[in-house]
Amino acid sequence: MSAIENSKLAIIGAGAVGTSLAYASLIRQSAREVVLYDINEAKVEAEVLDLAHGTQFTGASCVSGGSDLDAIAGANMVVITAGARQHPGQSRLDMAGVNVGILRELMPKLVERAPDAVFMIVTNPCDILTYAALHFSGLPSARVFGSGTVLDSSRLRWLLSHRVDVAIANVHAVIVGEHGDSEFPLWSQARVGPISLAQWVADDLSPVTNGRVKFSEAEFEAITEDVKTAAYRVIAGKGATNYAIGLSGARIVEAVLRDEGAVLPVSSVLTGYRGVSKVALSVPTVVNADGVSRVIEVPFSDSEQTLFQHSADTLRATLDRLGLA
């Protein structure tokens, strides 16, 4: 049956993030075929073996890869997790510059081998690199986006779910802006099931309210702070974050490869969105086989608009310093 094309996912970078994303994708069967690439041949071959040894338990999904970039040929989606880590004494800007340099060289090679793929940037600083990757790719803007604040939003929803004792699937809240310090939750749109989070109160008709009370402004702020510092606490305790970003990434992959039209806060280069252009930022976005099918115009409160503009200004300044017009 030459006509069917089973979904092929290429993951660039066999570090903790890339391999966790591969592992999650195999277990979830997010793709039929996962190809892992890294310049470190010994490392990537060991990771592929370790992943392949578990495929008795992952249905029809399979994994291969190595240090030959040609293995990604014809991929339907390419996820980039490769990049330099921040060295001691190196500024974040310097580190960003190094990773921009990597993408400058890498993107044309990837596009050459997978010309029809959707590209997702996971490497940090995610928003900066998404802008750079689009620039270097020459592709339409819909086809290049970053994993953005999908992970941050998942952290927020996990906290809220425990707070209100409702399934995380029914707690709707989203972090927007930079995947970094200037990000913020869209509290004005947060919901528990069909009601606004601000309306979630204790004086309920149910027999099991357990004295719940309304959310206070202070609690909203504490939760915001908790989410924004979560990555730092994970890194302090284990040296890196990998599992949650791996799952978040696999979930976004599914939205593309299954052509879902799922609403996810990925980071894409905006044009005239709430007054913002020429930076990549995360906002609620419809993701399907085209990549970014639509960025959703969300009503912001005044303070949210201010925070969003601040996030954009921060990123634009960095892009300027990196020479990315």
Burial class (CB in 10 A: 0-12, 13-18, 19+), 117: buried
144 touches its own copies by CB under 8 A: no
Site string for its own copies, 35-74 (x = CB under 8 A): -------xx-xxx-xxxxxxxxxxxx-------------x
- Residue among 90, 209, 301, 306 that touches its own copies (CB under 8 A): 209
Asked whether residue 76 is marked as a ligand-binding residue, the answer is no
Closest-CA residue to 51 (of 8, 7, 18): 18
314 touches its own copies by CB under 8 A: no
113 touches its own copies by CB under 8 A: no
30: its two tokens? 């997010």
130 touches its own copies by CB under 8 A: no
Q: Which residues, 6 or more positions from 152, have their beta carbon under 8 angstroms from its beta carbon? A: 175, 179, 183, 227, 228, 230, 265
Please, are residues 18 and 35 in contact by the beta-carbon 8 Å criterion?
Answer: no
Residue 225 dihedral angles phi and psi, to the nearest 5°: -60, -40
The secondary structure of 145-168 as a DSSP string is EE-TTHHHHHHHHHHHHHHHTS-G
* Strand ordering across the sheet containing 62-66: 62-66, 33-37, 8-12, 77-80, 118-121, 144-146, 267-269, 280-282
224 touches its own copies by CB under 8 A: no
Size of the site for its own copies (CB under 8 A): 114
Asked whether residue 114 is marked as a ligand-binding residue, the answer is no
Which position among 87, 135, 179, 310 bears the catalytic label? 179
* Distance in Å, CB of 217 to its own copies, minimum: 21
Instruction: Show contacts with its own copies in window 69-108 (CB under 8 A).
Output: 74, 76-77
Hey, is 60 helix, strand or coil?
A: coil
211 touches its own copies by CB under 8 A: no
Asked whether residue 55 is marked as a ligand-binding residue, the answer is no
Asked whether residue 161 is marked as a ligand-binding residue, the answer is no
Beta strands in the chain (DSSP E): 8-12, 33-37, 62-66, 77-80, 118-121, 144-146, 171-172, 175-176, 184-185, 191-192, 195-196, 262-264, 267-269, 280-282, 285-288, 291-295
Asked whether residue 86 is marked as a ligand-binding residue, the answer is yes
Asked whether residue 288 is marked as a ligand-binding residue, the answer is no
What's the CA gap between 282 and 303, in Å, rounded? 17
Asked whether residue 231 is marked as a ligand-binding residue, the answer is no
Instruction: Show contacts with its own copies in window 234-253 (CB under 8 A).
Output: 234-238, 241-244, 246-248, 250-251
- Cα-based distances in Å from 85 to 37, 78, 91, 248, 271: 18, 21, 11, 21, 30
Stretch that binds its own copies, among 82-90, 170-178, 304-312, 317-325 (CB under 8 A): 170-178
* Distance in Å, CB of 108 to its own copies, minimum: 18
Please, are residues 117 and 10 in contact by the beta-carbon 8 Å criterion?
Answer: yes
Helix (H) or strand (E) holding 231: helix 217-238
189 touches its own copies by CB under 8 A: yes
162 catalytically annotated: no
* Distance in Å, CB of 68 to its own copies, minimum: 16
Residue type, 312: A
192 touches its own copies by CB under 8 A: yes
225 touches its own copies by CB under 8 A: no
Instruction: Show contacts with its own copies in window 279-308 (CB under 8 A).
Output: 284, 286, 289-299
Please count the other Cβ atoms lying within 10 Å of the Cβ belonging to residue 198.
Answer: 15
* Distance in Å, CB of 323 to its own copies, minimum: 26
* Distance in Å, CB of 76 to its own copies, minimum: 4
**Which parts are annotated binding residues for beta-D-fructose 1,6-bisphosphate?**
157, 172
Task: Give the catalytic positions in this structure.
Answer: 179
**Which parts are annotated binding residues for NAD(+)?**
13-18, 38, 43, 83-84, 99, 122-124, 147
**Which parts are annotated binding residues for substrate?**
86, 92, 124-127, 152-155, 241
